[in-house]
Structure 1
């Protein structure tokens, strides 16, 4: 039986709706139900000049069809121009999708790009979908981005650079590494995962000359977890850790902050990159790009990341169903 996935397009004025329409043109590895405003999906289909027949939730659809749980917007959809009046619908769709997975009605969640500025302009405090789903599920999570050649998890996510060093504490690092290691085992089926851990400072601190976080924080945590049996490499200088011969020896990399690890991953395969939330009770995979307002509704958006997200979420959900 194919897993059942919830699909949330994200910002109505962005490329999310048209990516869903493109996805609906092909057979998928899972039964998809989108939580969206049907009118927006129809408008996206017209903009692309593609067929789209909307079906009832959980219907098993063929090419040109998409099962939809309708959730009406308060504002109109004008591609390229986010309307803060639609912020509540975007957040409601994400919460409905997450809750449906928590309740066991669906096996995984796939999400499109969300416009943070439009959500906050609509009067809703929002820092990201990862944080929203973690709060809803009542658990700590780790953001990991992946493409076919690389997995990069983040110790810290959306923080100003000046705040990163203070945020990296022994307790935080230990929790992050435990979540990553357990998720690689359970979700990805890696029996003995090996994780490369980056240093915070240039040259991983150069033995304390360029910073002492490696000596005082990172190395003691790694030593403690190695004593428990974890296979951890590092702390490694970030400028050489991503050499192909080194990546071939590990299953994932833990970067200390957002722009330490993600530029490398996106350079290595942006079109196939996805964003995975580790630690949730269900698989959640998102696209690894923004709303691309400048091309929304013009038929120029590449659906590769959303397709990759659906395929990975389906595999993770299937593994969970068979466990």
Structure 2
């Protein structure tokens, strides 16, 4: 393909302004592509037959000179002619080139958002971020990767009065998020809940908008490690719940209603930090801080439970009949 010198490109861009500049530059690119295609076609005809070509080498040279000194109007006049030359094979070739460029840009964008994500074609079991289950599809993993920025909090400062507890090695801070909707940490908590929605696979109709704020009666606790949120629990006042009874089939059966004081609306721990007692620590902090404090385990109930959450709740409450309360999966209610 012909290459216009850098100096000529600079002069050409200075001369053109606004939208017209972009249109003319695209026409220039189209003209260059067609020149190369005509040249390639001419070479093939010369090699396979003695048929004379309508485009001579002299015409190529004249075309090159005219292209370098052409005014914008020249490209406008020639645009229809060059667009007409493109056949199906040429269009397919251009599409392949553009798709390659788009894939390269997409990989670069993913690297910026998630430094451990190698590229779009990486096998999900070879990803080094450990942020997913092997049962997840590659498309869903890519979606999670693209939203990991929701857990980043490097620009937020943890005030001492927010800290409820720390890990033994002082590597994890357990903080209580302020109730004010204008607090940066409250806004970050809303983003974390949005990420939790994605991980739980909630339908888009029930997912939480990023601009939505949690009701003030809900108290949010976060586990923060190295400027990343790795755990979250949301607590709200509840008066009644129903114990989840064991059944021989997959149908959930509940018993008679029982009195409780607090409901665990959601609890989540990053996959890379599970099986380390993080969820239990979050609930212990809730018991010692929420409401009148010193809340008993019998005073807690859980909202919608996944299979893993069900086993965790049974182990933590030391009962197979976990109290549950009915809540819409939508965070908007």
TM over 0.5: no
TM-score of the aligned structures, taking structure 1 as reference length: 0.22
Name the one with the larger helix percent. Answer: 2
Q: Which structure's CA Rg is the greater one?
A: 2
Q: Which has the higher contact order (CA 8 A, sep 6+)?
A: 1
TM-score of the aligned structures, taking structure 2 as reference length: 0.22
